[in-house]
Amino acid sequence: MIKIRIDLAKNSYYIFLKNNIFNYVAKCHKKNYPGCRAIIITDNNVKKFYLTSFTNNLSKNNVKFNSYCVFPGEKSKSFHSLENLTDKIIKKGVNRNDVIYALGGGVIGDLAGFLSSILLRGIKFIQIPTTLLSQVDSSVGGKTAINTKIGKNLVGTFFQPSAVFIDPNTLITLPKKEFLAGYAEVVKYSIIDDKLFFNWLNKNSKDTFNLKSENIYKIITTCIKKKAKIVKLDEKEKKTRMLLNLGHTFAHALENELNYKVRHGEAVSVGILMAMKLSQKLGYAKKEDYYVLENHLKSSKLPIKLKQLSNNKNWQIKSIINKMQTDKKSYKGNIQFILCKGIGAAFIKKDIDTNLLKKTIEEFYI
């Protein structure tokens, strides 16, 4: 088993990596929270594969549990499901010593994490991420959120889990498209500050996509350690942590334009490429950087053009830019961009000319 400490003073916690981890999770619960209930939140997709295995292990260890299931997808990150879950959980009885488990991908982690942070003004929260995206990204750092009509993740909290348990074997049942969407975030980490890692990803993608255990462990641990380092420096995203949003100001606007009917990671794929294009136009990155990145995303079968995100969308440049300006990272109406001085060298930049932004996005039409 691999154990990684996320060092955040009194909010510190451990991430555990292990194949077939459910028995270990149940044993930890029994040991750390004797007599307390496990409240499991999952979605219909994940439920099919893993809920019984988890609850069987809880029962074997005499841990009482209740489970709650939401529909898969971003639509569940809403005030509506939040209220629904809250009412059901309170009705069954809950107290401040019970523990909420998020069993699923990023949506479940964001929703269950947010719920944990506000239910009875905060109860313990443990993540069991079952997608590549949530294993490498959303399970570290304590951001929780739901979406609003106007934008993504605009309502939420910073709330650290008490532990994260990752079972890389869950990736076997993950649809290929979902795996790839998570892979876009992996590529993002390499672009931020690790050219060597990017080169390794580029060279080893075949084995990675075949879920070679060694590759998966390397990818997950590398990304977690990178994120942990950044989050430690800046838990509340005052500055450094913004680097993790590379490509995300674009991606959030694109997702919103598509009414969230697109995978987050797919939007991120186009988003990081847009960020690299903008960096190139501003003279920070070279054409070569752009093409190396584009080629890797393309050969990974990740989207690199707007039309690949949606066949029948009539993209309106004004509307995209408007959405970017309401992103919560904008400061006094000024969007803060993460740009790159090439692969592995991201930085924060304000005051981007709107015309240049338009021209950049337009290049992704064809």
Q: Which of 331, 351, 355, 366 binds its own copies (CB under 8 A)?
A: 331
Q: Per CB under 8 A, does 344 bind its own copies? A: no
Closest contact distance (angstroms) between CB of 141 and its own copies is: 12
Q: Per CB under 8 A, does 205 bind its own copies? A: no
Q: Per CB under 8 A, does 258 bind its own copies? A: no
Closest contact distance (angstroms) between CB of 300 and its own copies is: 31
CA 219, CA 34: separation in Å to the nearest integer?
34
Residues of span 30-89 touching its own copies by CB under 8 A: 35-36, 79, 82-83, 86-87
Nearer to its own copies, 31 or 332 (CB): 332
Q: At what angle do helices 287-299 and 195-209 cross, to 10 degrees?
A: 20
Q: Which of 83, 57, 55 is nearest to 70 (CA)?
A: 83
Q: Per CB under 8 A, does 318 bind its own copies? A: no
Beta-carbon contacts of 84 under 8 Å, excluding residues fewer than 6 positions away, are none
Q: Per CB under 8 A, does 361 bind its own copies? A: no
Residue 252: both structure tokens together: 């959030």
CA 184, CA 172: separation in Å to the nearest integer?
18
Nearer to its own copies, 143 or 226 (CB): 143
Closest contact distance (angstroms) between CB of 58 and its own copies is: 18
Angle at 243 (CA atoms; ends 289, 6), nearest 5 degrees? 125
Closest contact distance (angstroms) between CB of 49 and its own copies is: 31
Q: Find the part of the chain contacting its own copies (CB under 8 A) among 195-203, 244-252, 301-309, 328-336.
A: 328-336
Number of neighbouring beta carbons within 10 Å of residue 77? 26
Nearer to its own copies, 120 or 321 (CB): 120
Closest contact distance (angstroms) between CB of 89 and its own copies is: 10
Residue 169: both structure tokens together: 């074997």
Closest contact distance (angstroms) between CB of 331 and its own copies is: 6
Number of neighbouring beta carbons within 10 Å of residue 313? 15
CA 55, CA 41: separation in Å to the nearest integer?
12
Instruction: Tell me the three state secondary structure of residue 14.
Output: strand
- Write down the residue that tokens 């007599």 correspond to: 35
Nearer to its own copies, 109 or 156 (CB): 156
Beta-carbon contacts of 270 under 8 Å, excluding residues fewer than 6 positions away, are 247, 250, 251, 254, 303, 304, 305, 306, 308, 309, 364
Q: From residue 102 to residue 141, what is the string marking binding to its own copies with x (rule CB under 8 A)?
A: ------------x--xxxxxx-------------------
Q: Find the part of the chain contacting its own copies (CB under 8 A) among 132-140, 152-160, 187-195, 358-366.
A: 152-160
**3-state SS string for 234-273:** CCCCCCHHHHHHCCHHHHHHHHHHCCCCCCHHHHHHHHHH
Q: Per CB under 8 A, does 10 bind its own copies? A: no
Nearer to its own copies, 148 or 199 (CB): 148
Nearer to its own copies, 301 or 328 (CB): 328
Binding site for its own copies (CB under 8 A): 35-36, 79, 82-83, 86-87, 90-91, 93, 95-97, 114, 117-122, 143, 145, 148-151, 154-158, 236-237, 326, 328, 330-333
